[in-house]
Amino acid sequence: MTELDPRSPIGVFDSGVGGLTVVRALMERLPFESIHYFGDTARVPYGVKSVQTIAHYTTQIAEFLLEKRVKLLIIACNTMAAVAAQVVRDLSPTPVLDVIDAGALAALAATRSRRIGVIGTPTTINSNAYARAIHRIEPEARLTSQACALLVPLVEEGWLDHPVTRMTAQEYLKPVLAEQVDSLVLGCTHYPLLKALLQDVVGPDITLVDSAVAMAEQAAALLTDLKLHNPERLPPEYHFWVTDVPLRFQTIGERFLGRSLSNVHVVQW
Ligand code: DGL
């Protein structure tokens, strides 16, 4: 592994705007770290695309961020993490973290009964990546997974507390609740924005596992282990790279980030 500079930024990427939930958690947990975020807004959504296509796009994005000399690469997109995490690990000279590993660890910390529910895009759920990550650590865990294809567009529409979103979530979660899970992994970048509604739907006895927060904790721990925390106490720099005109990214992104967004650059591929 090449010598890494603690002053270098962290690279975070996603298929679009959703990974900003991870950026938000990172900004709160690691306030002195600069971040380069890449959102592939021209080609989103990934959650319904083939493994081959996703792996190809993921490689392009990882290489772009590595050119920015990032000290750590974070795959914020559950779909990319589900099917292309190894591709990134194979090409990256810097450490790589992904939301699925982080979410799996957090789910195991949260569950008492070892009955865990996972929701995500169709590609994430069909890949079985969460089941593999959880069973690697706890073979006795019992998983119930549910693809929720409609939740991403509903979040992008801003229907975070809307009767249509509530009915949709109730419908998707019926089979998961029937399995008496005690924790539910929000296995998609968009779902943390639905936390309040989902908690209402599943009731107070089920713990929601937010993989964005889990990711920020794992990143902080890794920087400590590798002695890569930025020693400077200056305001960090945030840059956002997108592949389509940034108007929509800017509007929706501010909702995801909970603050205003500047330094948005368009990458022409
Ligand atoms: N970022 C994706 C995920 O976390 C959701 C959006 C998409 O389908 O591209 O799975």
Q: pLDDT tens-digit profile of 117-155?
A: 999 999 999 999 999 999 999 999 999 999 999 999 999
Q: Are residues 124 and 89 in the same domain?
A: no
| 156 close to ligand 1 (CB < 6 Angstrom) | no
- Model confidence pLDDT, tens digit, residues 215-266: 999 999 999 999 999 999 999 999 999 999 999 899 999 989 999 999 999 9
CB-based contacts of 59: which residues, under 8 Å, 6+ apart?
84, 87, 88, 91
236 assigned to some structural domain: yes
Same domain, 52 and 177: no
Statement to judge: residues 72 and 139 lie in one domain: no
Q: Which atom of ligand 1 is nearest to the CA of 19?
A: 1
Atom 2 of ligand 1, nearest CA residue: 77
Tell me which of 211, 226, 256 is where a domain ends: 211
- Tell me, yes or no, if 148 is annotated catalytic: no
**Helix or strand or coil: residue 55?**
helix
Note the pLDDT tens digit of each residue in 1-29: 568 999 999 999 999 999 999 999 999 99
- SS3 breakdown of the chain: % helix, strand, coil, rounded to 5? 50, 15, 35
| Residue 155, in any domain of the structure | yes
**Residue 188 counted as domain residue:** yes
Establish if 257 belongs to a structural domain.
Answer: yes
Answer whether residue 122 is part of any domain: yes
CA dihedral 187, 192, 197, 198 (to 10 degrees): 20
Find out whether the beta carbon of 243 lies less than 6 Å from any atom of ligand 1: no
Q: Mark whether 150 and 126 lie in a shared domain.
A: yes
**Domain-located, residue 19:** yes
Q: 44-100: per-residue pLDDT in tens?
A: 999 989 999 999 999 999 999 999 999 999 999 999 999 999 999 999 999 999 999
The structural domain count of the chain equals 2
pLDDT the model gives residue 86: 97
198 pLDDT band, cuts 50/70/90, is very high
Q: Is 145 in the pocket of ligand 1 (CB under 6 A)?
A: no
Q: Is residue 46 part of a domain?
A: yes
- Nearest alpha-carbon partner for 46 in 119, 117, 138, 152: 152
Same domain, 166 and 262: no
Pair (125, 250) in one structural domain: no
* pLDDT computed for residue 96 by the predictor: 98
Q: Whose CA is nearest to atom 1 of ligand 1?
A: 77
pLDDT tens, position by position, 158-191: 999 999 999 999 999 999 999 999 999 999 999 9
| Last residue in a domain, options 211, 233, 253 | 211
Say what the pTM is.
Answer: 0.95
- Distance, CA 4 to ligand 1 centroid (Å)? 30
Is the CB of residue 41 below 6 angstroms from any atom belonging to ligand 1? no
Say how many Å lie between the CA of residue 120 and the centre of ligand 1.
Answer: 8
Domain of 137, CATH number, reads: 3.40.50.1860
Same domain, yes or no: 39 and 114? no
Cβ atoms of 149 and 122 within 8 Å: the answer is yes
Distance 152 CA to ligand 1 centre (A): 7
Query: What is the sign, positive or negative, of the torsion defined by CA atoms of 119, 25, 58, 38?
Result: positive
Q: Which domain holds residue 230?
A: 10-98+213-266
Among 51, 12, 50, 67, residue whose Cα is nearest residue 218: 12
Confidence of residue 269 (pLDDT cuts 50, 70, 90): confident
